[in-house]
Amino acid sequence: MANRILIVDDEPNIVISLEYLLKKEGFEVKVATDGEAALSQAADFRPDLVLLDVMMPKKSGFEVCESLRADATLADLKIIMLTAKGRETEVTKGLALGANAYITKPFSTKDLVARIKTLLA
Amino acid sequence: MNAKTRFALAVAVLGLLMTGPFLLTVGILWVDLGAEERAGFLVAMDRWLPVGGLVTIMTLILGLQLLRALFQQYVHGLLRMAETLRLMLGANRNFRVAPEGPPEVRDLARAANDLAQQRNELLDDVEAQIRVAKATVEEEKNRLAALMSELALGVVVCNLDGRILLYNSRARLQFKALAQGPTSMSGGALIGLGRSIFSILERGQITHSLENIQQRLRKGSAEPTANFITATRGGALLRCQMAPVLRTGASGEAAGHSDGIPPAEQGGDDVRQAAPAQVEKVTVLPGDELQVTGYVLTIENITRNFEREAERDQALQSLTDGNRAALGNIRAAVETLLDSPEMEADFRERFMRVISDEASAMSSRLDATMNRFADSLKTRWPLEDVLAIDILSAAARRIENKLKLPIKHEEQDSNLWMRVDGFSLIQAITFLASRLQDHYEIRELRLRLAAEGKMVFVDLIWSGTTVSSETLYTWELEPMNVGSETSPLTLRDVVERHGGEIWYQREKAAHRAFFRIVLPAAATPDAPAVDQAQHLHSDSRPEYYDFDLFAARDAEGAGIDLDRKLSELAYSVFDTETTGLQPSQGDEIIQMGAVRIVNHRLLRQEIFDQLVDPGIPLKPEGIPIHGITEAMVNGQPRLDVVLPAFHEFCAETVLVAHNAAFDMRFFQLKEDSLGIKFTQPVLDTLLLSAVIHPNQESHKLELIAERLGINVIGRHTALGDAFVTGEVFLKMIPLLADMGIVTLRQALEAAQKTYFARIQY
């Protein structure tokens, strides 16, 4: 069975690439465009991995990450955070709050796919 | 025995010498002769005695003449010479002894003259040397003054009470430019010798920086200075650097040695050699020996620079961070396109559109950034490299003092440096501690310090109660108020300002939780423990500050001690011009002038000079006296703004005026409506003049000034009269002291007595 990936990002212009790319790689993909949608989708869709953008309206990626980690039923969930800011302190915060990996935009799609595959292996 | 007695004695001896042998011979003959021989002898005597007596008297007179001449020449001549020598010794060293009298005396006179000549030359030499030395000191002083006034930085020197001991014109200008308020000098007037720096800069920040410096000194830091940024009431930003003024236990010896002059009491060669050893000792012993007696503040108004810098920074940030996402989108789209040759046409077109949209968005972002360059932007604060552990111990002290919350220190890396604004960071830590204490009743807080890569972790740890992340999010956005201390900043502001992050985490196993503040680490500055004494006594430090001024003499702060000496107090000497002489009948003040006296000096730069719009027409008969016309007062501020500014100007000083009662009546009529009160003691030069010269009929200012030898210029402007009054008052202080009136209390009492005396008669 194909692994499920939830893309959480409010920018359609990145979502289109990510969605196309990951579907092509054979994943089952869903998209949430804000933090709250992400939490409800995570409960329904039960993804194996979440691609989580930090800068979002309503709830930030950090908050979503914390909530996901607080949910014991999602213990195996992998989280990759995406950010447009390159600050090291932010990366550290993401990892401290439970993200498995942290990727800074712009990134190479090949690297991203490789990271995802490693995490899901 | 004086010369006269000795002369009389000499005369008697001479008389005896001339008559004695003859009488003795006659006596012996008389005893030896028989009766007839005695009769014969008597007959012979009778015949020859008149001749013999005459001869004896003649020779006696001759002897007397000789004796007198000798006395004149030797005794009197020498006495005269002694007087002359004394004159040369005291009053006139160019006077010379006239060589007269016998050769021996003349010789002595010449020898004395030679000696005097040599002494003269020596004295001339010494005087010349003193003149040269004085000129050098004067030149150095002038050079320092020139240097200080040319500096683009404001320089202010304060003692530990925050009293200003020295400032340069740039500092005056900077603060004047920041002055708020309608009068020309409010605010600007606040910088002045003896005034408190806290009226300009925030007390908390000064104390914090001083603490910081003291800590660095204890650690033997090579550069015990502190930097901070402060905002004034008007919103301007000042960058201040604080450097301590130090006194060491052995500073005198060290200074003496460096000049190559051994201290006076150390005469012998052994002691002189021992001196360097003592200096060495000072350099080895840090901390205890060093006493901070004050500080030098260099102040730079960076509002403009800072805004420009912040804008540039913001622009840079929007160009990098802002374009990251767009570039990311483009890159992802392009790579997907390249990797998917099989992609259907409409999908392909959607990808192309993404690329085109993002590229044009990047272009417009670039344009917008360039346009926004000139706009005002969010502030960012310059940061300073500090030892992380210093900040933590300062925060711990603050929390223990303010919140009475015990602090424990967990493992703390003492070699971590971070780049922070210490004051706001400590505020942030204290704020978190107080929130934890208030809402979760924690009983102790642990502080931990660790590093990872280029980051420093500051952890606030507590056990038991857990907190939700939401709570932290709320706290992050609240202004950081702790007790009565308020701050316009939020925790988020502080964290963002540092480019840091903060989050909440739990240590489940240990049943503990912590807030972690991550801050960027600073490169560990190589801090060679340089020779401290050398640093402190290096030539770069001017040596001619009056260090007596550093003694904290004003223990009570604001109050004026009535038992202080008149010569030590600070005064505001003032005068007013008015529309007429009847304050109760509606006459009003039209001009106020004042000048400060500090440390027995009239400070002609520290003045208050303001025309006042009286709100009523000027009386034509007054105009020739004060020379103030309607046109001059039109548009000037009213007394209700000028008087409070004056009140601020003369805070903490004794008021001095000529016929002060008149001016004070004008003030008193306004005090209630303006809510200010002049509570300080008032000295009246008119009454003091009556104390000093009770028998003079007039005590008009001009006449007093004339009596005391003061040139009167610029009278009948308020400031001109204040200057004259000030000079008169300064001349009066020693005259009063001669009468035993030394303290302020004594002067007030004496004036009061005269006042009653004048009323009675």
Q: Which residue has the tokens 């008007």?
A: B234
- Check residue B235 and give its pLDDT: 63
Task: Say how many Å lie between the first and final Cα of chain B, rounded.
Answer: 61
The pLDDT score that the predictor gives to residue B250 is 44
Write the CA distances from B629 to B578, B594, B621, integer angstroms.
12, 21, 11
pLDDT score recorded for residue B179: 59
Identify whether the C-beta of residue B498 lies closer than 8 Å to the C-beta of residue B420.
yes
**At residue A107, does pLDDT exceed 90?**
no
Domain count, chain A: 1
Q: Which residue in B598, B590, B594, B703 sits closest to B637, CA to CA?
A: B590
Question: Which candidate from B321, B328, B503 shows the least CB-CB separation from A96?
Answer: B503
Q: Please determine, for residue B575, whether its predicted confidence score (pLDDT) is greater than 90.
A: yes
Span B16-57, pLDDT tens digits: 888 888 889 888 988 888 888 888 888 888 888 888 888 888
Alpha-carbon torsion angle B133, B139, B143, B148, nearest 10: 80
The top-scoring range by mean pLDDT among B114-123, B360-369, B411-420, B421-430 is B114-123
Q: Which is nearest to B652 in space by CA: B184, B192, B2, B53?
A: B192
Question: Per residue in A42-53, is it b (16+ CB within 10 Å) or e — as a string?
Answer: beeeebbbbbbb
The phi, psi pair for B194, rounded to 5°, reads 80, -10
Q: Note the pLDDT of residue B756.
A: 57
* B286: Cβ contacts below 8 Å, ≥ 6 apart: B217, B218, B219, B220, B532
CATH number reported for the structural domain that contains residue A95 in this entry: 3.40.50.2300
pLDDT tens profile B497-531? 888 899 999 888 888 999 999 988 876 554 433 33
Alpha-carbon distance B203 to B224, whole Å? 20
Q: Give the catalytic positions of B in this structure.
A: 716
To the nearest whole Å, the CA of B360 is away from the closest chain A CA by 13
Domain coverage including residue A45: 4-120
| pLDDT, position A84 | 81
Q: How far is CA A42 from CA A8, A51, A70, B142, B503, in A?
A: 10, 11, 13, 78, 23
The string of DSSP codes covering B375-408 is S--------EEEEHHHHHHHHHHHHHHHH---EE
Predicted local distance difference test score (pLDDT) of residue B544: 27
Domain residue ranges of chain B, discontinuous segments joined by +? 3-89, 151-248+284-301, 305-372, 384-520, 566-760
Q: List CB contacts (< 8 A) between B453 and chain A.
A: 88
Give the integer Cα–Cα distance in Å for B191 and B232: 14
Q: Which residues of A touch B356 (CB under 8 A)?
A: none
pLDDT of residue B741: 92
Instruction: Tell me which residue of B212, B189, B214, B211 sits closest to B200, measured CA to CA.
Output: B189
Question: Which H or E run contains B208?
Answer: helix B203-218
Question: What is this structure's pTM?
Answer: 0.47
Give the minimum alpha-carbon distance from B444 to chain A in angstroms, rounded to a whole number.
Answer: 25
CB contact under 8 A, B520 and A89: yes
> What's the Rg (C-alpha) of chain A?
13
pLDDT tens by residue, B461-495: 998 888 888 889 999 988 888 877 777 778 988 88
- Residue-level pLDDT at A28: 95
Q: Are A86 and B320 within 8 A, CB to CB? A: yes
Question: How many angstroms separate the CA atoms of B216 and B387, rounded?
Answer: 9
Helices H, strands E: what count in chain B?
A: 23, 17
pLDDT on residue B539: 31
Residue B395 has pLDDT above 50, yes or no: yes
- For B50-87, the pLDDT digits (tens) are 888 888 888 888 988 988 888 888 888 888 888 778 77
Is A89's CB within 8 Å of B516's CB?
Answer: no
Contacts of B324 in chain A (CB under 8 A): 84-86, 104-106
Percent of chain B with pLDDT over 70: 81
Residue B748: phi and psi, rounded to 5, are -65, -40
Interfacial residues of B (vs A; Cβ cutoff 8 Å): 320-322, 324-325, 327-333, 335-336, 339-340, 343, 347, 350-351, 354, 357-358, 452-455, 469, 473, 499-501, 503, 505, 516, 518-520
pLDDT score, position B130: 92
| Beta carbons of B455 and A92 less than 8 Å apart | yes
Could you tell me the pLDDT band of residue B234, with boundaries at 50, 70 and 90?
A: low
Ranked by mean pLDDT, the top range of A11-25, B10-24, B34-48, B227-241 is A11-25
CATH class of B151-248+284-301: alpha beta
Class of domain B566-760: alpha beta
Asked whether the beta carbons of residue B332 and residue A93 sit closer than 8 angstroms, the reply is no
List CB contacts (< 8 A) between A20 and chain B: 336, 340, 343, 347, 351
Q: Which fold has domain B384-520?
A: Heat Shock Protein 90 (3.30.565)
Residue with tokens 């109050």: B559
A26 Cβ under 8 Å from any chain B Cβ: no
CB spacing of B340 vs A24 below 8 angstroms = yes
CA-CA distance, B159 to B166, in Å (whole number)? Answer: 10
Whether pLDDT at B542 is above 50: no
Q: Is the pLDDT of residue B229 over 90?
A: no
**Minimum Cα–Cα distance from A82: chain B residue:** B325
Q: Do A11 and B325 touch (CB under 8 A)?
A: yes
Distance CA B420, CA B383 (A): 5
